Amino acid sequence: MKKSADESALASENPVTFSALGERAQPPTIARLMTMALETPNLLSLAAGFTDNATLPVDFVRAATEAMLGNPGDREFIQYGTNQGRPRLRQLLAERLAKIEAKLDAAELSRGLFVTNGSQQALYLAMQVLGEPGDIILVDRPSYFVFLEMLTGLGLRAVSMPVDAAGKIDAPALGALLDSLASKGEMRKIRAVYFVSYFSNPSARSLDAAEKTSVAAELSARGLCIPVVEDTAYRELYYREAPAAPSVLSLPAWAKFPKLYTATLTKPFATGLKVGYGLCTDDAWLKKMLHVKGHHDFGSANFNQAILEHALVSGNYDRQLEQIRPAYERKMRALHETLVREGLPTLGWSWAEPTGGLYLWLKAPESLDTGLDSAFCRACLEAGVLYVPGELCFGDEAPKNFIRASFGVLNERDLAEAGRRFVSVVRRFV
């Protein structure tokens, strides 16, 4: 049958209509950065937050796989697993956390722990069940830019917690911010508070106990007992000393708050396995996240979980950490010392030397725009070096003069060369 003119016109527009969530969905910035990297020959990327390829635990993964395959009568590790995650793996993770924070009970922690496809899935589940479009999530300043993009995709509004000149959370200013939101009738829209607390992505700094306590105090003073999400993806990636501050799970100021502690086995062990976890202290919140997770995948990859379970039991997980901690410190120094040696501080740039994690957080003079579409960013690409623009890492009022430089992927020689290329571009913009 021949189509009418109206039918043809309608079909030519778009046969697919999207939900509000679908309409909000945009390509992630990390995909754009990866495309830029692939399209630029001989590029040295300080953008991707990947881990070091040379130290990936091939032997430990082989040992786990051979151990499991060596028992032909037991094939459960390549069968479907449970939605909440392997019970033994959850128990091991709970015991590990209880050793770090002695006040916690491993059995109780295990009940609230669920395994996810990387810690990113736990973050998405948390936000998906907590907020409606237009609701507010309080975030650290700066914050994890992939999380911020997730909030945008869900229609949630990120509001940054104020910081002082040293980058620490400014409790009085946070109180004033909360009062301002209350005066606008927006207090009820605040659905959760989120922060990356150890060797933060992107700033590489860790929150101390006083900062965490001050946030709880300001919320409590205003009757806000909202969920708190503490992202601890880099907690075990310290170079020499573990961070001293306890998590919100054991800080008295947070005792009455619903808490979600998220972590990952991806960055400390093997990124390709994509195993993370969340630990939730609120039964109702946990059930909602597990209900939605069941619709996502009804259980993260059981085989990958089994490999991590073996690594923890055998001690290979800790052996891997013993290898990568000094390796990342060497890589950090290769980039940090090159930038110093090439004179970047004398050109008005500043940063703190990190004691863990995968990033340098560089602050340029305020007059320099380092954004994704800036002349400076284009010049760096032309010079063969790529970074993450710091403007992506702020929930609101984003400054244009910050840069996140990752030293996780490149070897020490290439990191030094990337540093030289970067400073050569900076000199052209002074």
Distance, CA of 94 to CA of 88 (rounded, Å) = 10
Q: Residue 49: its pLDDT value, please?
A: 79
User: Among 19-23, 119-123, 208-212, which stretch is predicted with the lowest mean pLDDT?
Assistant: 19-23
Q: Residue 77: its pLDDT value, please?
A: 92
Q: Residue 32: its pLDDT value, please?
A: 72
Q: Residue 13: its pLDDT value, please?
A: 67
Mean pLDDT of the chain: 94
User: Which CATH code for domain 19-56+319-429?
Assistant: 3.90.1150.10
Q: Taking 70 as the threshold, does the pLDDT of residue 196 lie above it?
A: yes
Q: Taking 80 as the threshold, does the pLDDT of residue 34 lie above it?
A: no
Q: How confident is the model at residue 4 (pLDDT cuts 50, 70, 90)?
A: low
Angle at 36 between CA 32 and CA 40, to 5 degrees: 170
| pLDDT 10s digits, 170-186 | 999 999 999 999 999 99
Per residue, the 3-state secondary structure of 9-51, as one string, reads HHHHHCCCCCCHHHHHCCCCHHHHHHHHHHCCCCCEECCCCCC
Tell me if 100 sits within 8 A of 356, measured CB to CB. no
Sign of the CA dihedral running 244, 251, 113, 156:
negative
**Tokens describing residue 135:** 């609701």
Helix ranges, 186-273 (H): 209-221
Nearest residue to 46 (alpha-carbon basis) of 400, 392, 381 = 381
Residue 259: other Cβ atoms inside 10 A: 21
Domains 19-56+319-429 and 59-317 share a fold: no
Q: How confident is the model at residue 39 (pLDDT cuts 50, 70, 90)?
A: confident
Q: How confident is the model at residue 191 (pLDDT cuts 50, 70, 90)?
A: very high
Above pLDDT 70, what percent of the chain? Answer: 96
Q: For residues 330-335, give the mean pLDDT.
A: 98
Q: Residue 11: its pLDDT value, please?
A: 47
pTM for the model stands at 0.94
Q: Residue 6: its pLDDT value, please?
A: 52
The ranges assigned to domains in the chain are 19-56+319-429, 59-317
Q: How confident is the model at residue 9 (pLDDT cuts 50, 70, 90)?
A: very low
| pLDDT 10s digits, 87-96 | 999 999 999 9
| pLDDT 10s digits, 386-410 | 999 999 999 999 999 999 999 999 9
| pLDDT 10s digits, 341-357 | 999 999 999 999 999 99
* 59-317 classified as CATH 3.40.50.150: no
| pLDDT 10s digits, 108-157 | 999 999 999 999 999 999 999 999 999 999 999 999 999 999 999 999 99
Tell me if 393 sits within 8 A of 144, measured CB to CB. yes
Q: Taking 90 as the threshold, does the pLDDT of residue 12 lie above it?
A: no
Q: How confident is the model at residue 364 (pLDDT cuts 50, 70, 90)?
A: very high
Length of the chain, in residues = 430
Q: Residue 357: its pLDDT value, please?
A: 97
Nearest residue to 402 (alpha-carbon basis) of 391, 413, 418 = 391
